[in-house]
Structure 1
């Protein structure tokens, strides 16, 4: 949870879409196109295009390995892509994949609620999450003075108005992925340069 960090090599990714005939916009004939997988990295949320192994047809919404010898699905990562290059299906799947990532690493993302501080004299990092204004921010800060939050459920029980913290975090991560010009980048790597 830092800002201005360069992307590191992702070790795992979540499959957002499988395009058996490649991009629709490619000018090649249908049978000359190569299949591609669109996915999001698990650590820095890098969007990428991957080549599947011969005969592999990945399921949407599953985690796949990107490095090492045990890669039954992905042959290689072709390139880093931007949000605008995602297929419609990938854009629909992205929020669900992000929620799975956040829930799978709940302790890590819970630290944001336990440790987030002010960004400026008038804005707190908690206010970057959609739906959290001054009132909820103060409720979180007052509750965490009593002791750190132990889980998302504990956070929801102690702070009335925060019902699904994983959805708030996933939405913020999606906003950071989708907008290259976003001012405060808390969870994602810097966007790719064009």
Structure 2
């Protein structure tokens, strides 16, 4: 006797365990794709200073000094010294890849401290920090949206220069009404926060200059903002 029902395999009902497994597998695949995409992005730095004749404190004869450059990490604000090849040519503000592969012209890169920079690199540093913050406005505005308590008495917002208890509370109250969309939006909605971009730049500079700070929110691979898109 013929059955009028579809003779094919029965489909899983909505909400079944099989469907949940498929959904979980799709989510895992999406996370893997996101991780792969992040890895493919690489790590980049901006050139702060280019010294074709090497460092002034290098005691070797000039013809034996390697050309060097100083750089600032785009995402985590780490400072680098690059030893360069003989035919390398760089200019200030060049964006160069340093991980997973180094850009052409860079023999090796090593992380350095603020005190290791020469005068020219230090003078350029704040301008480059400001450019990075401006070019990545969404990421840094989201710091104001996502900042959270560090301890019962201390909030991440209080680490920013000029932000005390009153201004912190103004920011927290304003963001309850909706996330901030831009630096201009922050200035308009938060009384007393006149230049939210410059406030961030000042904090980044403080973290770069002072190795002894207890809390870091912008500088270093483990900084809370370093791995946000």
State the TM-score, normalized to the length of structure 2: 0.72
The 2-side partners of 1:172 and 1:113 are apart by 13
Please tell me whether Structure 1 or Structure 2 has the larger radius of gyration of its CA atoms.
2
Aligned to 1:137: 168
Larger RCO: 1 or 2 (CA < 8 Å, sep 6+): 1
The 2-side partners of 1:157 and 1:63 are apart by 33
The 2-side partners of 1:190 and 1:131 are apart by 26
Give deviations 1:156-182, integer Å, cap 9, x for gaps: 111133233222112211211222221
2:71–2:79: 8 Å Cα contact kept in structure 1? yes
- Cα root mean square deviation, aligned: 2.4
Distance 1:49 1:70, change over 3 A: closer
Aligned to 1:90: 121
1:110 aligns with 2:167: no
The 1-side partners of 2:99 and 2:107 are apart by 9
Q: Which residue of the other structure, out of 63, 81, 99, is the alignment partner of 2:112?
A: 81
The 2-side partners of 1:70 and 1:128 are apart by 34
What stretches of structure 1 of length at least 5 have no aligned partner? 1-7
Aligned to 2:63: 31
Aligned to 1:3: none
1:159 aligns with 2:190: yes
Q: Which residue of the other structure, out of 199, 205, 208, is the alignment partner of 1:168?
A: 199
The offset of 1:70, in angstroms, is 9.0
The 2-side partners of 1:77 and 1:131 are apart by 39
1:21 aligns with 2:48: no
What stretches of structure 2 of length at least 5 have no aligned partner? 1-38, 223-229
1:61–1:93: 8 Å Cα contact kept in structure 2? no
Between structures 1 and 2, the one with greater helix share: 2
The 1-side partners of 2:113 and 2:120 are apart by 15
Paired residue total: 183
The offset of 1:67, in angstroms, is 4.5
State the TM-score, normalized to the length of structure 1: 0.84
2:67–2:86: 8 Å Cα contact kept in structure 1? no
